[in-house]
Amino acid sequence: MNFLLDEIARATQRLAEAGISSPRTDAEELAAFVHGVRRDSLHTVSDAEFDALYWECVARREVREPLQHITGRAYFRYLELQVGPGVFVPRPETEIMVDWAITTLHAMDVADPLVVDLGTGSGAIAISIAQEVPRSRVHAVELDPKAAEWARHNVETTGHAGRVTVHLGDMHSAVPELNGRADLVISNPPYVPSAERDQVPPEVRQYDPQLALWSGQDGLDAVRGLTTTGARLLRPGGHMAIEHGDGQGIEMPRLFPESAGWRDVVNHKDLARRDRFVVMRRAESED
């Protein structure tokens, strides 16, 4: 039996006992990182090449340091992004919202769509849109200076510096020069209720930036602000997508009423069939 695969089995057991939700995947990702191969090529690592650094990485993960902080990378759609302390680690759930946004942009009768990503973090959403909607122009807004630096770095290393502009500023007041011009506004804002602080996994509570997590007692403070921000930035008929937490979808129609100029407010589910993001359209001028 391949020695590394045997060690991965041992690591999987240790991570499972530590409460890691995906112990086998994490054990394999750490092994691939340490040995410089892809996960599907782990069987090619010979016994002589086994690196004891693997067990140092397993020990770090065992005490709930995020996998992505250990490897320094996060995968999002077709991207490999660099992440670490000071930036929110992008989640797979957000990919579904981005897929909706990309499909919507392709369906628009707009040659060079203008997109605003509010609370960009690592830049995952903004860069994905720039990559998959080739003529789009994306403005990414981030309040946290450390996170903004991670976003700028990822924009540069993925080769999208000419298409994605990172702005340091508050999502609710930034880029006033784009008022009434955006074809699409998209955001994965903070939405964790402060009342649920003790229920959040250690990887999130201890390592993700606080600005990216908490948003008032019910978790909806940032989303409430986006009701006016979206209205400010969008052109008539423009679209907006906002990620939200479990159980918050029921509040969205009330926050984006027709009386405030919103149309077609619809919740979309994630792969676990839970409401995960809401989309809406700004009323046409003749509505």
**Amino acid 179: pLDDT:** 98
pLDDT digits (tens, 9 = 90+) for 213-229: 999 999 999 999 999 99
Residues 13 and 111 both lie in one domain: no
Residues 93 and 56 both lie in one domain: no
Q: Name the residue among 23, 51, 22, 52 with its Cα closest to residue 37.
A: 51
| Region of poorest pLDDT, from 44-53, 92-101, 140-149, 159-168 | 44-53
Beta bridge partners of 165: 139
Angle between helices 92-107 and 124-132 (to 10 degrees): 40
If pLDDT is split at 50, 70 and 90, which confidence band does 48 have? confident
Angle between helices 3-17 and 53-62 (to 10 degrees): 20
Residues 97 and 191 both lie in one domain: yes
Residues 175 and 250 both lie in one domain: yes
**Measured on CA atoms in the order 217, 220, 221, 222, is the torsion positive or negative?**
positive
**Amino acid 220: pLDDT:** 94
Boundaries of domain holding 215? 86-282
Q: Name the residue among 175, 130, 174, 120 with its Cα closest to residue 151.
A: 120
**DSSP 3-state of 200:** coil
If pLDDT is split at 50, 70 and 90, which confidence band does 286 have? low
Residues 39 and 158 both lie in one domain: no
| Contact indicator for 62, 18 with CB cutoff of 8 Å | yes
Q: Indicate which CATH number applies to the domain containing 120.
A: 3.40.50.150
Please name the residues in contact with 192: beta carbons below 8 A apart, sequence gap of 6 or more: 200, 213, 214, 215, 219, 245
**DSSP 3-state of 215:** coil
End position of a domain, from candidates 63, 78, 109 = 63
If pLDDT is split at 50, 70 and 90, which confidence band does 244 have? very high
In a domain, 269, yes or no: yes
Residues 168 and 97 both lie in one domain: yes
